Structure formats: structure tokens, C-alpha cells
Structure 1
Amino acid sequence: MEYYKNENMKLILGDCIEELKKLEEKSVNMIFADPPYKLSNDGITCQNGRMVSVNKGEWDRSSGFKNDHEFNKKWLKECDRVLKDDGTIWISGTYHIIHSIAFALMEMDYYIINEIAWYKPNAAPNMGCRCFTASHETLIWAKKSKKAKHTFNYSFIKEYNGGKQMRSMWEISTTPKREKELGRHPTQKPKELLYRCIMSCTHEGELVLDPFCGSGTTGVVAVENKRRFIGIDTEQEFLELTKRRILHQDLEVYS
């Protein structure tokens, strides 16, 4: 169901699998997907020096490996339908889901262009003290086939990186407080992360899709940089947050 629309963005309320079926085939240049990591298992973590629950919502609860994998295959199938032949998809995740997604992509004959390690220097400490402290997430950048002529703005990214080739290890702190002033989401990504993804493989005027819109960081960065955006989410409050953030347009300058 269409929730909000203007010339730069469309926000859709509903299940992404069903809503993606309504979009035009091969109409999207880039997809950024941050699917549920299935981490809400009644455990604990550290937030601002306090012990808090890891539970984020029913949408983040695991339904068991087989069902979780089937879910990943279904939303990836619908993303494949709307993605242009020369378009690319970015997917973020932790070890809880990213290997399922990588396997599903390979089953679909997708070609993985890069695997990016997002290192978080300020990651939360480990409360159980029985394993290494989780300090990174993995991003997969993929295209429909090895022969597909994807966009990579090499010169721009190299200049942005101080004249050096950007490597596949990205050191980016977790989302700063200034990006949460208009509202919060439990899995909000920092704008810097999305800036690198979007600016590396799209041009002005192209269409960016986020099937798990959340706080709308994908849309904020896309619209700020003259791209168009479609965001889908099951929660109205998060679409309202996305709308608020995009319309606010603080036009932050990246350094």
C-alpha cells in the first residue's frame, strides 16, 4: 500500500515480498537490503554502558534455519525481478544470515562482485565473555551474472578515498547520535556506509530500492545525492521516520 509519494521518493507500507510483486519489472538500478538478522533471541547486549535486551521486534525472531532461508530466497527472487539486468544489489548482514543469503544468490546464478567487511571500531563489548567481540558486519555486492555490465564509479570513489583505491575493509563507526535526532530504529545504519554503496554504483536520477526500509538511511542518502528512492517496510512508524528524515534534508557534507 502506498504510504507517501513525491517526485523523489515513494514509501510503501506492507510485506516486501508482496509489495515487490507490484513494482515494474527491471525498473530499479540498485537495491540495498538490510534484512532481519534474526537476532532477537532474548539475549542481552551492552548499550551506552547498560545491559539491555537484544530483542528488536517480532520481525527479527528466527523461525528456524529452513524457514529463514526460504524467506531469504523469496525476497531475493522478487528483488531479482525488479532489478535491471545491469543493476546491482547490496546486502548487509552478520554471520547469522549472510551465509544463507550468499548461498541463495549463488543458487540464482548471481555473481558476487565484492564482499565488504564493515569494521565498527566502537562496537558494543561482549557481555558473555565466552567468545571474541563481534565488531563487523558483512556486505555483499552482487550482479545478475558475471557478464552483466555493472556500474562502478571507480574514479569518484578513488578521489573520495584520498586518491587511493578503496579497499574492501571499511572502518566506519556505528550510527552517530546526530543521525538519530528525528527518531530511532534498532538497526539503523550510518549514512557514511550507505554513501559509499550508493555513490559507487549509481548515477544522478537513477532509482534506488530498499525492501527493508527501517529508518530510511538509504533514502536519505539517495535523495540527498539526486537519486530517486523506493522504500518498503511493514511498520508505519518507521516509514513515518523515513519520511521525516528525507524531508528534513540536512544535506550533510561528507568528508
Structure 2
Amino acid sequence: MREEVYYFDKESGSALVLADTFDFLEKIDEESIDMIFADPPYFLSNDGISCSGGKAVSVNKGEWDKIDSLEAKHEFNRSWIRLAKRTLKPNGTIWISGSLHNIYSVGMALEQEGFKILNNITWQKINPPPNLSCRYFTHSTETVLWARKNDKKARHYYNYDLMKERNGGKQMKDVWMGSLTPLKEKKYGKHPTQKPEYLLEQIILSSTKEEDLVLDPFVGSGTTCVVAKKLGRRYIGIDQEKDYLDLAIKRLQNS
């Protein structure tokens, strides 16, 4: 597909890019990114059902959320992580979110591609949808892996003091609790896997400084960029779906 800068913020030098993630990652300057947050496809679109607003709904998100095999899923994860690593500064870090459908592949791919996993964050949702089949425990958590390059010289940034302050004067633990994405963050439109702003706020504040450059290779509705802008960070967001980028632009222009 043809690549283009779909939205450019002259004030901060930030951009949303309409492109295939794999192609555009190869064009980003080497070791230019301070932090990456990625919410890649979970590959859970299997024609099943879930619950939303008290109603049974299809779990299918789109063709981008389907994969043919376990091997193809893992190669997908290794490939984009390999490309993302090239863009990351020596002391930069990467955060990747996922559920049981993809996070084990992501964790293995990180280690295979030369990363050291720093933390395994458990995001516990206080208001998860019920399990309609009543044959499993309710799925109420997702995992966010935090990693840096596996280099003994690497000195990743962690704002320990701020995280301690945000946690009432105690060390921040690796279990974070909060609600699903509130309706007020979806007023310009919806994305099937949209993350809440408070989650990205904690991630960005903990591992970046003002003016740092944040990359989201699967930007979707733009939560990473919206929060980065609010916190005085620069951003690059990539997606191949115009509709999602249009939604992200509305959010950015009204944030």
C-alpha cells in the first residue's frame, strides 16, 4: 500500500502515518525512538461470541485479527518486534500488551529477538464482561510486558519516585487495577481493542521524559498519541486503516 503522513502536528513534530507497519518500521531512523508501546493483534477472531453491554456479540474484530496457524502467529510477532528493535535507542524500552491469545508468543519473541523482559504487568479490569458460556473463569486481566535490549550497558529510564508518589508513597507493584475504557473516551468513535487513557498515562510517565519520542506501530484509535501529547511527549503512530486514523485525529484535535 502507498504510505503517507496522514496527520502532522507541526508544533511537536509528531505524526500519524497511513502505512503497513512492517514496511514503515524499516524506514524509521535507526535508534531514534525513546519508547515503544504496541497493542498488536491478539488473533482471537475465531467466530465465537462475547458480551458487550449485556448483549451477545461476535468476537471477530476484522481480517487484521485473524491468523492461519500458531507458527504464523509467532512469526508475525518475531518479525515486527525485530523491526521495532532497530528503531529503539540503546536505553529505550518497549511495552507490549496482550491476552492469553498472544502474550506467550510475544514474550518468547522478545527473548528470541534479543530483549530482556523487565516486568510483567497485570492489568486487572474491575468491570470485565461476564463469561457467557459459564464454563470458564471470567477473563478479567491482560498482560503488558516491559522490556529493553538485552545489553549489559543499557540503562533504561524508570521514574521510580513518581510511581511511588502515584502509589501513595509505596513502591508501585506490577498489578494495576482499573476500569475498561470509559464511554467518554469513545465519543468520537469506537475501536474494538481501545485501551483506556489512564493505562497509557502510567506507562508513558513511568518510562519517558518530556520531549521523548514515543512510537505506536499499531496505533488504532490513537490512545498512545493522545496521552503522549497531553504529557508533552512527541509521537509517531502507524496504522493501515484510514477509519481508525480518522478517529485518532479527532481525538488529537480535541485533546
Instruction: Note if 1:31 corresponds to 2:36.
Output: yes
Distance 1:162 1:184 in 2: 33
Instruction: Note if 1:107 corresponds to 2:112.
Output: yes
Distance 2:240 2:198 in 1: 25
Within 5 Å, which residues of 2 pair with 1:8-47? 8=12, 9-47=14-52
1:50-108 Cα distance to aligned partner (Å, 9 max, x none)? 11111111100122111111111110011001000100000000011111011011112
CA contact (8 A) 2:78 2:113 kept: no
Identity of aligned residues (%): 51
Instruction: Note if 1:120 corresponds to 2:146.
Output: no
Deviation at 1:112, TM superposition (A): 0.6
Counterpart of 1:28, as a letter, is I
| Number of residue pairs matched by the alignment | 249
1:252 corresponds in structure 2 to none
2:236 corresponds in structure 1 to 230
1:187-242 Cα distance to aligned partner (Å, 9 max, x none)? 00000100010000100000000000011000000000000010000100111111
1:3 corresponds in structure 2 to 6
Counterpart of 2:136, as a letter, is C
Within 5 Å, which residues of 2 pair with 1:107-186? 107-145=112-150, 147=152, 148-186=154-192
Deviation at 1:129, TM superposition (A): 1.2
CA RMSD of aligned residues (A): 0.9
Within 5 Å, which residues of 2 pair with 1:59-98? 59-98=64-103
Mean Cα displacement is larger for which, 193-202 or 1-10?
Answer: 1-10
1:241 corresponds in structure 2 to 247
Flag structure 2 segments of 5+ consecutive residues without an equivalent: none
Counterpart of 2:225, as a letter, is G
Counterpart of 2:9, as a letter, is N
1:118-144 Cα distance to aligned partner (Å, 9 max, x none)? 001100100111111111000000000
- TM-score (structure 2 length as normaliser): 0.96
SS in 1 for 2:161: helix
SS in 1 for 2:139: coil
Deviation at 1:146, TM superposition (A): 5.1
- TM-score (structure 1 length as normaliser): 0.96
Deviation at 1:45, TM superposition (A): 0.5
Counterpart of 1:127, as a letter, is L
Distance 1:62 1:122 in 2: 29
CA contact (8 A) 2:77 2:105 kept: yes
Distance 1:63 1:33 in 2: 22
Distance 2:114 2:235 in 1: 27
2:212 corresponds in structure 1 to 206
Instruction: Note if 1:57 corresponds to 2:62.
Output: yes
| Misfit runs of 4+, over 2 Å | none
Distance 1:101 1:175 in 2: 23
